[in-house]
């Protein structure tokens, strides 16, 4: 009698642990994270838009790492974005361009790296020189309205 109780409790705990394992591996991002083998690159942006810590870093649309820290440099008045890139993607030239794009029209923002042609490579702790800031929709709309307004004025001007 007692043996069968022990067996059924063992089965119960086994199913419970299997469910936890499934939630961890299959139903969350734990399996896709590997923080041990990565190196660090920083980039400075005028405006990072809605970029957040843990946003993706992509090259040609392939995720190669994630943003690990976002700071503000009070001397240069710029945002400093620190990224962790997987060790298996080591071959980025020094003149790689980092831009902040949006996935889809209203999706999340991510850092996109575009490799350049330099023969020297980016190492650990190195900084990307060429960056392109996030596109802020309000600014674009503002510029568009401003241009429209000035176009109209041009049409009406006698010159």
Is residue 53 a contact point for another protein (CB under 8 A)?
A: no
Task: State which residue, 16 or 50, has the beta carbon closest to another protein.
Answer: 16
Could you tell me the end-to-end alpha-carbon distance of the chain, in angstroms, rounded to an integer?
A: 103
Which distant-in-sequence residues (6+ apart) come within 8 Å of 120 by Cβ? 93, 94
Distance of closest approach, residue 113 Cβ to another protein, in angstroms: 19
Query: Among all chains, which residue has been given the structure tokens 């109780």?
Result: 5
113: nearest Cα among 51, 59, 65, 43: 59
Distance CA 38, CA 66 (A): 10
Q: Which stretch binds another protein (CB under 8 A): 20-28, 83-91, 111-119, 146-154?
A: 20-28
Is residue 33 a contact point for another protein (CB under 8 A)?
A: yes
Is residue 29 a contact point for another protein (CB under 8 A)?
A: yes
Q: Which of 27, 121, 137, 140 binds another protein (CB under 8 A)?
A: 27
How many other C-beta atoms lie within 10 A of the C-beta of residue 97?
A: 15
Q: Which stretch binds another protein (CB under 8 A): 7-15, 68-76, 117-125, 144-152?
A: 7-15
> 25: left (phi > 0), else alpha (psi -120 to 50), else beta?
alpha
Task: State which residue, 23 or 140, has the beta carbon closest to another protein.
Answer: 23
Q: Which of 3, 13, 40, 125 binds another protein (CB under 8 A)?
A: 13
Where along the sequence are the contacts to another protein (CB under 8 A)?
A: 2, 5-6, 8-9, 11-13, 15-20, 22-24, 26-33
């Amino acid at each position: 009698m007692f043996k069968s109780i022990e067996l059924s409790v063992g089965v119960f705990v086994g199913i419970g642990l299997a469910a936890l394992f499934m939630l961890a591996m299959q139903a969350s991002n734990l399996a896709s994270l590997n923080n041990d083998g990565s190196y660090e690159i920083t980039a400075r942006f005028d405006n990072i838009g809605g970029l957040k810590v843990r946003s993706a870093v992509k090259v040609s649309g392939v995720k190669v790492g994630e943003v690990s820290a976002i700071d503000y440099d009070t001397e240069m008045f710029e945002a400093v974005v620190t990224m962790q890139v997987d060790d298996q993607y080591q071959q980025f030239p020094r003149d790689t361009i980092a831009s902040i794009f949006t996935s889809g029209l209203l999706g999340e923002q991510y850092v996109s790296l575009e490799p350049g042609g330099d023969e020297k490579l980016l190492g650990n702790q190195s900084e990307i020189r060429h960056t392109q800031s996030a596109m802020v929709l309000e600014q674009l709309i503002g510029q568009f309205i401003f241009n429209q307004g000035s176009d109209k004025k041009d049409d009406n001007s006698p010159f």
